[in-house]
Amino acid sequence: MASQVSLFPKALNNGETKDPLRSLWRNVLIVALEDAVGRHWRNKSYGNPRNDFFMQSARDYFLHPNRDFVLVCQYAGFDHEYIRMKAKQFFNKRKKHESKKDM
């Protein structure tokens, strides 16, 4: 989960109170990110084998404009453009890392 920390802004800013609904929508984004990178992507021996179609569909949720993503980010208290930008950076960095491993 360390990668989500760098992708998403701080969970609580100074002066911000805990909000169960906002926490729910933030967790929706975290689960979507886990789907996009492959659940338990650090532990390759856990769970189902990678499904590239499913993972690409989950990545598209972050990378391509859609109203659902904007709404979920709004409910989570995040700027959808910022989250999309950070997701692109994360996916590109991960892609470069994986291509180096394959060499």
Residue 87's pLDDT band (boundaries 50, 70, 90)?
very high
- pLDDT value of residue 74: 96
Q: What is the DSSP letter of 50?
A: P
Helix, strand, coil percentages in the chain from 3-state DSSP, rounded to 5? 65, 0, 35
Per-residue pLDDT tens for 2-26? 444 456 665 555 566 788 999 999 9
- Section 67-95 average pLDDT: 93
> So what's the pLDDT on residue 4?
47
pLDDT of 89: 93
46-75 per-position pLDDT tens digit: 555 556 788 889 999 999 999 999 999 999
CA–CA distance, 53 with 35 (Å, rounded to integer) = 11
Question: DSSP readout, 21-40?
Answer: HHHHHHHHHHHHHHHHH-TT
pLDDT above 90: residue 83: yes
Instruction: Report the C-alpha gap between 7 and 91 in whole angstroms.
Output: 10
